[in-house]
Structure 1
Amino acid sequence: MPRRRPATAARPRHRIDWTDTETPMNAHSMPDADVASSGVAAEELKQFVERIERLEEEKAGLQGDIKDVMLELKGRGFDVKAVRTILRLRKKDHSERQEEEAILELYMQALGMA
């Protein structure tokens, strides 16, 4: 049986001694080629972020439109919860939906609910 180290024994820790390392690189210490390439990368990153922000705004607008349609649906006397269930089911493949329904029916029978 292997011997275990007592809980009080100090384990060696791996620490970085920053006094022995070079000064970290920053934009002022980078060679000119690296600054230019990081500028290109920064501009590309900015474009991606702005694109995502525009899409998020569009998404929020669409979600607002869906909410308005659901309120209209409810105002016309339809059950919103049932419509949401139908929307979820329509996204599924027919065979996947049949399998889920069969499992649900089996469980309901096992619980005496059918």
Structure 2
Amino acid sequence: MDDDASITHLTEATREKLRQTVAKIERLEEEKKEVAEQIKEIYAEAKAFGFDTKALRQVIKLRKVDKAEREEQEMVLDTYLLALGEA
């Protein structure tokens, strides 16, 4: 089917739903950008207080993982390091 033919077959309600969907996505993308900027500012504040932001990011990452899963990952990591003579 030709693209132009597809467009002409859209009902006005479908076109309006498409416009609303695009508008929602654009609004959420803008909000995501604002939140990312706020997070960046908080890391800058943490750095100004003397916190290690690399370690802070790792803490945030680890807290997102289920405790049992995190322990399993740590066990595998320790096993690999031991096997490589790094532990």
- The TM-score range, normalised by the shorter chain, is 0.7 to 0.9
Mapped partners of 2:80, 2:52: distance in 1: 26
Match of 1:47 in 2: 20
Match of 2:39?
66
Matches within 5 A, 1:1-80: 25=5, 27=8, 38-80=11-53
Q: CA deviation at 1:86?
A: 0.5
Question: Greater share of helix residues, 1 or 2?
Answer: 2
- Say whether residues 1:100 and 2:73 are aligned partners: yes
Instruction: Report deviation, 1:72.
Output: 0.6
The alpha-carbon deviation at position 89 of structure 1 amounts to 0.5
Q: What CA RMSD, in Å, does the superposition of the two structures yield over aligned residues?
A: 1.6
Partners of 1:112 and 1:77 lie apart in 2 by: 33
Structure label with greater radius of gyration = 1
Q: CA deviation at 1:112?
A: 0.6
Matching residue's letter, 1:75: A
- Matched residue count: 83
Q: TM-score, normalised by structure 2?
A: 0.88
Normalising by structure 1, report the TM-score: 0.68
Q: Percent identity?
A: 43
Could you list the runs of 5+ residues in structure 2 that have no partner in the other structure? none
Runs of 4+ displaced beyond 4 Å: none
* Partner of residue 112, structure 1: 85
Structure number with greater CO (CA < 8 Å, separation at least 6) is 2
Amino acid at match of 2:65: K
